[in-house]
Amino acid sequence: MTGFLPDAVQQELAASLRQTRRRKAKRVVHVGDEAVPILEMSEDGFAVAFEDAPNLRGLIDIHEGARHLYQALIVASERDGDLMRYEFKRNTATSSTPPRDFADEVAAPVLLPPPD
């Protein structure tokens, strides 16, 4: 079907699809003051539009809206058409509470005594 469309129309359709994907992106990569929408994400890495961030590397933060999800160390993997793929070297989920350095004391009995 795309063989029948003129090149200008194909380019406009591709640009429209890229814009739609950017608007629908919920997760964002923060590198310094920059924020780049994540178009695809998996356990091993993520992909962004090549024109938005062709050379990301190092320590990044991943947010979903205002919520901080991950802090990761990344390396560029490959260019895949108009996407740039990055792989995680380290991906750590963030927590909203500070880590504790003590164990909870159990106040309740672990096992009730048998009835008499």
pLDDT tens column, 17-41: 777 766 667 888 888 888 888 888 8
Q: What is the pLDDT of residue 85?
A: 92
Q: What is the pLDDT of residue 73?
A: 93
Q: What is the pLDDT of residue 87?
A: 94
Other Cβ atoms closer than 10 A to 115: 4
Tell me the C-alpha distance between 62 and 37, whole Å. 10
Q: What is the pLDDT of residue 90?
A: 93
Tell me the C-alpha distance between 49 and 35, whole Å. 12
User: What global pTM score does this model have?
Assistant: 0.67
Q: What is the pLDDT of residue 24?
A: 67
Going from N- to C-terminal start, the domains of the chain cover 24-93
Q: Could you tell me which CATH number the domain at 24-93 has?
A: 2.40.10.430
